[in-house]
């Protein structure tokens, strides 16, 4: 004969699991587009970005018990996403594909159609910066993360992130001075 307490425990665990899955589904809904965009900048391939985004959410769900709620969920998620991309390329031994493609998800189609040549030139120039500089610029200005969140994603101190941002901006300013003016 089965133990009724065990059956009750199993029902409670199943109910809790259903509730946590529903809660996590809301988090996926809220963060999917930004995470996909972030990962796509690394991969430049829609299929890989979709797969790695899904892998990231699976890893986050399996390890949700490790999430510390005193930090932003997005920082934790982007850290998992970044590591998932690195592991993917490490496995393929193809780190040259880690260059970003700049796509600003906040732009309207009209703004994209009109184009902002100067902005494109700046981001093209930014691609030639050291990977750390480029990455910190992406997280700050495209993903709109705070210095604290960037520090969490990159596993660096806030001071180190501020220094990286300062140096990246200065290098970009120097490159901008050498660029021809937009037509």
pLDDT in tens, 120-164: 778 788 888 898 998 898 888 888 888 998 998 889 999 999 999
Mean pLDDT of the chain: 77
pTM above 0.85, yes or no: no
Q: Are residues 66 and 140 in the same domain?
A: no
CB-based contact 57:34 (threshold 8 Å)? no
pLDDT of residue 97: 34
Report which of residues 151 and 181 the model is more confident about.
Answer: 151
Which CATH number fits the domain that encloses residue 75?
A: 1.10.1740.10
CB-based contact 35:53 (threshold 8 Å)? yes
CB atoms near residue 174 (< 10 Å): 10
Q: φ, ψ for residue 107 (rounded to 5)?
A: -75, 145
What is the percent of the chain where pLDDT is above 70?
72
Residue recorded with tokens 């892998």: 55
Domain housing 137: 105-183
Cα separation, 124 vs 57, in Å, equals 30
Instruction: Give the model's confidence band at 98: pLDDT under 50 very low, under 70 low, under 90 confident, else very high.
Output: very low
Report the range of poorest mean pLDDT among 34-38, 57-61, 78-82, 179-183: 179-183
| Residue where one domain finishes, among candidates 75, 101, 127 | 101
Tell which residue, 133, 155, 142, 159, has the closest CA to residue 75. Answer: 155
pLDDT of residue 70: 87
Position 65 pLDDT exceeds 90: no
Q: Are residues 138 and 122 in the same domain?
A: yes
Report the range of poorest mean pLDDT among 23-32, 62-71, 99-108, 160-169: 99-108
Which CATH number fits the domain that encloses residue 166?
A: 1.10.10.10
Chain mean position to CA 163: 21
Number of structural domains in the chain: 2
Q: Are residues 113 and 55 in the same domain?
A: no
């Amino acid at each position: 004969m089965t133990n009724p307490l065990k059956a009750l425990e199993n029902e409670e665990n199943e109910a809790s699991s259903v509730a946590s899955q529903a809660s996590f589904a809301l988090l996926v809904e809220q963060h999917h587009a930004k995470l996909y965009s972030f990962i796509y900048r690394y991969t430049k391939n829609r299929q890989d970005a979709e797969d790695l985004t899904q892998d990231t959410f699976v890893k986050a769900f399996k390890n949700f018990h490790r999430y510390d709620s005193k930090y932003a969920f997005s920082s934790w998620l982007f850290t998992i996403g970044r590591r998932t991309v690195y592991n993917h390329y490490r496995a393929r031994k193809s780190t040259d594909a880690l260059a970003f493609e700049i796509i600003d998800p906040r732009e309207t189609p009209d703004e994209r159609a009109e184009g902002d040549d100067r902005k494109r030139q700046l981001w093209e120039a930014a691609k030639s910066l050291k990977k750390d500089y480029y990455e910190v610029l992406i997280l700050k200005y495209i993903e709109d993360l705070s210095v604290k969140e960037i520090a969490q994603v990159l596993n660096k101190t806030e001071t180190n992130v501020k220094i990286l941002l300062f140096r990246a901006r200065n290098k970009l300013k120097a490159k901008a001075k050498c660029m021809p003016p937009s037509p």
